[in-house]
Amino acid sequence: MNWRLLSRLLSLLSLLVGASMILSLPWAFPIFGVAVQFEQQGFLGIVLSVLICMAVATGLWYVGRGAQGTILHKEALAVVGLGWILAGILGSLPFLLSRTMRTPEIPMTVIDAFFESVSGFTTTGASVLTELEDPTQIPKCIMFWRCFTHWLGGMGIIVLFIALLGHLGGGGKALMQREVPGPLNETVKPRVRETALAMWKIYVGLSLLLSIVFILEGMSPYDSLCHTFGTMATGGFSTYNRSAGHFESVTIEMTMIVFMIAAGTNFSLFYLLLNPPPKAKKIPWYRRAEVVYNEPEWRAFIFAIVLVTVALTVNLLLSDTYQHFGEAIRHGLFTTVSIITTTGFGTEDFGQWSDFSRALLLLLMFSGGCAGSTAGGMKIVRFLLFAKIIRVETEKAFRPNVIRSLRLGRENLPDRLRQEVVVYFSLVLSLFVVSWMLLNTIEPDTLWQNGSEAVKAEKLIDCASAVASSLNNIGPGLGVLGPASNYSGFSQQGKFLLTILMLLGRLELFAILVLFFPSFWRNQ
């Protein structure tokens, strides 16, 4: 392990996080209509946090002075894994130093702040804050930083890191492969820095467009930016306790649906639409859109949205949850898109829906959007590949000599993907089961009222949804963790466990798991 090189890169990452906090400072001034005395506290908290980030960056840079060599596979894994943990720690400082209140009269603990920060950067959207609309509990500038962590983590802080730096060379590709989610790490440009820049340009462009649309639909500039961060990053942090339901606007909800689907789409497809190959430039834009439709993963993504929406709508009507078809399909579609893209915005408390609807949403939490998107989860492409692997292995049971290559669309995929997909599914299932049982043991029954058998059964389901939600970066869960509730009632140990699961899910397990192997840190 090249410790000096690792230290130098982490110092630059600390500098990036600290510089990003400065953008939250303008929202502390009275011109934006806030409670001045509390915003001064938030302003001071952010300023102190920036100074600490600069001090950490200076210390790490000093340790890494004179670093030589290139970023190899080990260093890439270490930078990504440790970088996200470091970003979560530094990102928690504004909450702590501003004495942000978790609940009235109860300030956030270190674990609370780390949970909230990691939830933001990993675009999970789970929260321990209860009074989102009260500036005396949460300063407006701190709320803006909370939402902005989504936007930084959506496309990836390491991808931004690569885009801003031009001297990483081949090491940038190694970093990109560990950061961008999905089993197929494709690049849209020959050079990895150009790919990172292209991805971020598309991300920024869509974000600017959405924020303008939100303002035209009646949101304030502040709400527009905060909800743009949550939508494009598929995060789900809102400035209101009722989340997207606060606006009670079908227009805003439909806009969110369109852009959540866009954020859940592989961003390389947008690049191909905007920058077609020379032979395709003379083709009308609407014909070039076929490149998206012909992508197997995207078609499966849209098919899953349609199928689950229909199932939810029918069940919501049959269970008398809603009396009118329009209302049932409105909330069914929004919730389906919010969950499958791992955004976590809510218009209704789906934790109160029928057992069938809640079970369907729990399963949908594992799906996720497309590879190369800002969505979390296991990714649609892995389910497509897993289905093909099962089909091939079943055929081998009665035709043992048959040889089938793994194909996705017209593309032959390397054989190593078979093992990678199966291993990934096995690891996710194992982590889910172990964490579910551990969380169920850690959490006292008092959160579920009286500890009766019925309540214990409810606790079992709620803990399962908490683990699934954190591991797949969803945010809200079922029952006491529904869109109308949060994680404030969980124990400190439970919150720490869920925080680790958020990191594991966002980095697709390995960049965090390898940190626990002693052999990983040896020089051999």
Backbone angles phi, psi at 35, to 5 degrees: -75, 110
Ranking 9-18, 130-139, 312-321 by mean pLDDT, the lowest is: 130-139
Residue-level pLDDT at 412: 76
Residue-level pLDDT at 173: 61
Tokens 């058998």 belong to which residue? 453
Question: Residue 347: left if φ>0, alpha if ψ -120 to 50, beta else—which one?
Answer: alpha
Residue-level pLDDT at 444: 85
Tokens 């500098």 belong to which residue? 15
| Tens-digit pLDDT profile for residues 127-186 | 999 888 887 788 889 999 999 999 998 887 767 666 666 555 555 565 666 566 555 555
Residue-level pLDDT at 451: 47
Decide which of 284 and 466 is more confident.
466
Q: What is the share, in percent, of the chain residues with pLDDT greater than 70?
A: 86
- Give, for 413, the enclosing helix (H) or strand (E): strand 411-413
Decide which of 494 and 33 is more confident.
494
Interval 331-339 mean pLDDT: 95
Decide which of 100 and 408 is more confident.
100
Q: How confident is the model at residue 279 (pLDDT cuts 50, 70, 90)?
A: low
pLDDT at 507 over 90: no
Angle among Cα 268, 271, 272 to the nearest 5 degrees reads 90
Residue 281: partners with Cβ closer than 8 Å, 6 or more residues away: none
Nearest to 300 by CA among 417, 412, 392, 384: 384
Q: How confident is the model at residue 282 (pLDDT cuts 50, 70, 90)?
A: low
Residue-level pLDDT at 33: 47
For the stretch 216-223, contacts whose Cβ atoms lie closer than 8 Å and that sit 24 or more positions apart, written own/partner, are 217/249, 217/251, 217/252, 217/255, 218/247, 218/249, 218/252, 219/247, 219/252, 222/27, 222/32, 222/140, 222/144
Interval 74-88 mean pLDDT: 88
**What ranges do the domains of the chain cover?**
3-179
Q: Beta-strand (E) ranges in 266-316?
A: none
Judge whether 248 and 227 are in contact, CB under 8 Å. Answer: no
Mean pLDDT of the chain: 85
User: Measured between alpha carbons, how far is residue 42 from residues 135, 136, 459 in Å?
Assistant: 10, 10, 36
| Tens-digit pLDDT profile for residues 360-409 | 999 999 998 998 889 988 999 999 989 988 888 888 888 877 777 777 77
Q: What is the DSSP string of 212-226?
A: HHHHHTT--HHHHHH
Nearest to 12 by CA among 117, 74, 82: 82
Burial of 254 (0-12, 13-18, 19+ CB in 10 A): middle
pTM of the model: 0.91
